[in-house]
Structure 1
Amino acid sequence: MAASVLHLPQELVDSIIEYVGDDRSTLCSCALVSRSWLHSSRYHLFANISLSPHIQGNIPPQQLCAQLYGVLQESPAIVPYIRSLQIFDGGLPPHRTAQWISNERTLPPLLKLLTHLRQLELSASSACNVIQWKSLPFTLQNAICTLLKLPSLTYLRLHSWTFPNLASIAAVLSSCQHLKCLSLSAVAVCEDLDNTHHSEPPDTIPNDEFSSGSDTANTRAPTPSLEVLTLDYVNFGYLGYWLFAPPSPISFSNLRELRISHSADPLVVEQILLSIGPSLEHLHLKPGSWDVFPFDLRNNLNLKSLRLTLEVPETALSWCTTLLSSLSPSGFLNSLTHISLEFFTDLKRLSASSPSTTTTVSPSTSPYHVPLKQVDIGLFAQPSHPDFVRVQEALGGIQKNDLKGSGAVRVYQLGLKSQRSFGRICGPRLRSFEGNN
């Protein structure tokens, strides 16, 4: 008798393949089992594509780019499975500063093939390497902006970029009509003095910066309504003007999550918080070398979590007490349930230059009258450090009834993967922008 073939239910097949979704070699084997296994295998195998010099095998990223372009030309059915793309400009060791995206001819046509992309990251692979928008070939500029116009694209991250003027960065972001999450990291603008007046930045977008086909210099795309915005090390002239002068490059009306690290200045940040208003739910501030500034959060009525990361010992505790004191009047933040205070600094210097950490986190100076469920105190020190112990002892005096329900106060060591703050509750939660799997 002929041996019977075992047919598994498709739901079970999908569960099996999802279980091995992080093992690429196993996924390749699963794709060869049968036609019923092919779709789920490709779904996980091609979900995230990285063109980086740091992947296993030390294959040059330009070679990976050419190989991927060849595969998609031969098998266009794979295109819908590619939902996330990371491009890192740079070379293999020891030539990490070698740039390749400007010279790789297959990159522009490859980008135009990716019609189902949801997440895009364009970064330099090392701190010594910066992507100059003005130096990119027009074909690549055009391909990038075509990609940004995709209705499916909801997340964009630009890291280590330099734009010649405000008009050029506005032109790029104006293509992102459907964007929900924007992350700018180490982005600089070098004002072109020939085209930019000192008194007022330009408000027109040059056609040759990004346009193609029917686009004109006076045509402005709808402003993307973001839900998540991250500004890390974004410091350039006229930043406030660029964000708020009409027409604004983004809309703050639906912003739920905001992270600002070593960027802008307190006055611009205050204006951002005011513009966001009650839609803001998660706020992460990393002020760096700013002077202590008393932010007014009364307009952000639906704030659920507040995270403050402090690195300068001379101002760390003053920042902490000033921001926490802004929460105490009137009890307007009825939705605030999580607070995280992270001290990335030497505790010996912290103790010597400021009031004791114990005083800062004591119940009398912390807003425990709001419905908090979790308070995290992160210290860059060993748990045996005297100040670490003192903070733990001080927080031990906070009774359970000071926090709602099963609330908890936790002191943890920063810098350990196993000792993280409350998830990434204050950071861009990319999964919420991936849609249905």
Structure 2
Amino acid sequence: MDLPQELVDTIVDILHDDTPSLRACCLAARPFGISARKHIFKKIEILSSSDASQRFYELLCSSPHIAPLVEDLCIVSVLERWHETSGFRDPSGDYMSGRLLSLILLLLTELIRISIIETGDVNQSCAKFSRSWRRMELPLQSALANVFSSPRLEAVHLCGLVLDSPCHLLSLFSEATALKEMSLSRLYFTQDEGRHEPWPESRLWCPKLQSLLLNVFSTDFCQYLVNPHIDLTHVRTLTLATPLPKQRKKMVQATKLRLSRGVEHLGFYLAYNFETRISDLSPDLFTTNLRSIHFFSPSIVKLLGVLVKRCPHDSRLEYITLDSFAGVLHYKKVPELYTAIDAIVDRLPALKTIELRWIMRDPSDAFPQWEADVYAAFSSLMRRGILRITKLQWQGSLYPLGWE
């Protein structure tokens, strides 16, 4: 007996993240195949150093019904060999030419999300390990610009790129009326600091961003955050992951001017010496609107003490997540610190969860001891049922998982 397509869609939707089952559905019956393909091709990842890109292009050409199913495209560019003597990248390992990628982009007319990620050297963070926009082939520049300005585009993630200037970067998305989510990580600019052109007063910037992640190596970029022609007042999720103190401090200042009142979810990356960077945590960031905060810090206990102190008494804060390359807590030496945290937590009635995340960087597993120390130090939080402890595996990047 034939089943209504709506019922088939409901059944297959349950399997949306189970690729083997979805492939099996394609072989079961045509109605199941129609529904399963929507999930199989919804998100596609292209590796620039793989000849699978050519096969994907051939599939799009031979099966035109597939291209409209692709809504989320992730382009990962694998590190190419770097010649220290010549100072130029060796493109011989990149199997996907700019022309091939541009042809793929022209076929994917229904994209909602796009990510362009240059893996670079995981132990380096500099422009020479990033992809240069100026050196891209012109057809690829044009195809990407069309995607970035599409009225359908809702989210973009750029990681490891070199562009002319912040103005050049923002102009690529000035017409993206549906853009709500933007993640800019490890971006660099060829123009010298202090010489970046201002945003033209006559030009509108159409996106109404709701989520913004910034890891941009430029202090001049901050002037665009306070430009009245670039509307950031709708941002509800803000992550400042820039590790360099000068850039981070200016971004915090810009945030206080334009964003802090409306931000509900705040992420902050505190690298280097904790004591000298705590001044970046302005009390103005901790408004009554905050619902969650996610921080990285080498000193996880001191940070927790500062965070709960700076939250207002009428705070609506529900979730605190702290990442760290955790070490010894020494809770027996400074018990007053933990006692003070317990007392302050009592003043946060909406708080539901404090999650401490251990990031492992070496094979030796000291997590059980660290976990036991945390439970002993924060025994009252554990009794209240609001303490969670999570173990994460370091990915080999300069930044912990989720910070770029």
Smaller-chain TM-score bracket: 0.7 to 0.9
Asked if 1:346 corresponds to 2:352, the answer is: no
Asked if 1:83 corresponds to 2:71, the answer is: yes
How far apart are residue 365 of structure 1 and its match? 5.6
Residue 270 and residue 392 in structure 1: after superposition, are their counterparts in 2 closer, same or farther (change >3 A)? Answer: farther
Q: Distance in 1 between matches of 2:297 and 2:286?
A: 24
Which position in structure 2 is the counterpart of 1:115?
109
Which position in structure 1 is the counterpart of 2:152?
152
User: Equivalent of 1:275, from 258, 264, 281?
Assistant: 258
User: Please, which moves more after superposition, 160-169 or 114-123?
Assistant: 160-169
How far apart are residue 277 of structure 1 and its match? 3.5
- Is the 2:236–2:262 contact (alpha carbons within 8 Å) kept by the matching residues of 1? yes
TM-score (norm 2): 0.79
User: Please, which moves more after superposition, 171-180 or 28-37?
Assistant: 28-37
How far apart are residue 126 of structure 1 and its match? 3.6
Q: Distance in 1 between matches of 2:228 and 2:95?
A: 34
Asked if 1:124 corresponds to 2:118, the answer is: yes
Which position in structure 2 is the counterpart of 1:300?
287
- Is the 1:377–1:411 contact (alpha carbons within 8 Å) kept by the matching residues of 2? yes
Equivalent position amino acid for 1:45 in 2: I
Q: Distance in 2 between matches of 1:71 and 1:363?
A: 58
User: Please, which moves more after superposition, 357-366 or 338-347?
Assistant: 357-366
Q: Distance in 2 between matches of 1:74 and 1:219?
A: 45
Q: Distance in 2 between matches of 1:167 and 1:150?
A: 19
Q: Distance in 1 between matches of 2:40 and 2:179?
A: 25
Give the match's secondary structure for 1:301: coil
Q: Distance in 2 between matches of 1:307 and 1:223?
A: 29
**What stretches of structure 1 move > 6 A for 4+ residues in a row?**
none
Which position in structure 2 is the counterpart of 1:231?
214
State the structure with more CA Rg: 1
TM-score (norm 1): 0.73
How far apart are residue 123 of structure 1 and its match? 0.9
How far apart are residue 122 of structure 1 and its match? 0.5
User: Equivalent of 1:391, from 361, 374, 389?
Assistant: 374
- CA distances 1:47-92 after superposition (whole Å, capped 9, x unpaired): 1111126xxxxxx53x333333332233322222111101111279
Equivalent position amino acid for 2:106 in 1: K
Which position in structure 2 is the counterpart of 1:31?
26
Equivalent position amino acid for 1:356 in 2: V
User: Equivalent of 1:370, from 323, 348, 360?
Assistant: 348
Give the match's secondary structure for 2:261: helix
Q: Distance in 2 between matches of 1:244 and 1:101?
A: 41
Which position in structure 1 is the counterpart of 2:125?
none
Asked if 1:415 corresponds to 2:399, the answer is: no
- CA distances 1:374-418 after superposition (whole Å, capped 9, x unpaired): 222344574543x65443234223597xxxxxx62325243269x
Which runs of 5 or more residues in structure 1 are unaligned? 1-5, 54-59, 206-217, 401-406, 418-423, 429-437
- Is the 2:72–2:114 contact (alpha carbons within 8 Å) kept by the matching residues of 1? yes
Give the match's secondary structure for 2:160: strand
Q: Distance in 1 between matches of 2:283 and 2:207?
A: 26
Q: Distance in 1 between matches of 2:252 and 2:389?
A: 29
What RMSD, in angstroms, separates the aligned Cα atoms of the two structures? 3.6
Which position in structure 1 is the counterpart of 2:362?
none
Residue 383 and residue 123 in structure 1: after superposition, are their counterparts in 2 closer, same or farther (change >3 A)? Answer: closer
- CA distances 1:194-228 after superposition (whole Å, capped 9, x unpaired): xxxx65531268xxxxxxxxxxxx97343311111
Q: Distance in 2 between matches of 1:280 and 1:46?
A: 34
Taking the TM superposition and a 5 Å limit, the aligned residue runs for 1:169-180 are 169-180=169-180
How far apart are residue 185 of structure 1 and its match? 1.4
Q: Distance in 1 between matches of 2:266 and 2:20?
A: 40
- CA distances 1:163-212 after superposition (whole Å, capped 9, x unpaired): 13233212223243321111111111221x5xxxx65531268xxxxxxx
Which runs of 5 or more residues in structure 2 are unaligned? 82-88, 123-128, 360-364, 395-400
Taking the TM superposition and a 5 Å limit, the aligned residue runs for 1:40-51 are 40-51=35-46
How far apart are residue 254 of structure 1 and its match? 1.2
Asked if 1:64 corresponds to 2:52, the answer is: yes
- Is the 1:276–1:300 contact (alpha carbons within 8 Å) kept by the matching residues of 2? no
- Is the 1:282–1:303 contact (alpha carbons within 8 Å) kept by the matching residues of 2? yes
Q: Distance in 2 between matches of 1:71 and 1:379?
A: 43
User: Equivalent of 1:253, from 233, 237, 240?
Assistant: 233
Equivalent position amino acid for 2:284 in 1: L
Asked if 1:202 corresponds to 2:197, the answer is: yes
How many residue pairs get aligned? The number is 373
Q: Distance in 1 between matches of 2:343 and 2:322?
A: 14
Among all aligned residue pairs of Structure 1 and Structure 2, give the percentage whose two residues are the same amino acid.
20
Residue 244 and residue 118 in structure 1: after superposition, are their counterparts in 2 closer, same or farther (change >3 A)? Answer: same
Asked if 1:336 corresponds to 2:317, the answer is: yes
- Is the 1:83–1:117 contact (alpha carbons within 8 Å) kept by the matching residues of 2? yes
- Is the 1:320–1:360 contact (alpha carbons within 8 Å) kept by the matching residues of 2? no
Q: Distance in 2 between matches of 1:74 and 1:379?
A: 48
Which position in structure 1 is the counterpart of 2:242?
262
How far apart are residue 323 of structure 1 and its match? 3.2
Q: Distance in 1 between matches of 2:6 and 2:210?
A: 33
Equivalent position amino acid for 2:389 in 1: Y
